[in-house]
Amino acid sequence: MKNFEVEEKKKGILKNKVVEYLKDNIEDFVINTPVDKSPNSILNVSFLNTRGEVILHYLEQDDIYISTTSACSSNKKTKTNLEKLNKDSNICDGSIRICFSYENTKEDIDFFLEKLTMRKRWD
């Protein structure tokens, strides 16, 4: 708790860096997280016409770990949170969850964004 405010601010800076980068450099994506009304530790985005699992496995090759499900999901038979919100299947299928930690560095985020930009390899 002693460092909570500093750590929370750092996560917010990293999260905003990702959001701004995506807005400036990627066309076919949707931000699902209400950025200003959500914890700084979570960002959910969808890449249209690409399955989230493909992105997950692509990034794993470089030891970058994301998720395609919410932290509270444990049963694949239930609807995802995006499906419960009646989001288009293209948005649901392309969804990834990015988590931020006070242990992440600017260099970690730069590396993640560099790999994400090389996404043509997903096809």
Residue 10 tokens read as 């750092």
Vertex 109: Cα angle to 26 and 24 (nearest 5): 25
Sort strands 95-99 and 29-31 into parallel, antiparallel or unpaired. unpaired
Among the listed residues 72, 86, 89, 123, the single catalytic one is: 72
Residues 76, 45: Cα–Cα separation, whole Å: 19
Residue 72 annotated to the active site: yes
Active site residues per annotation: 72
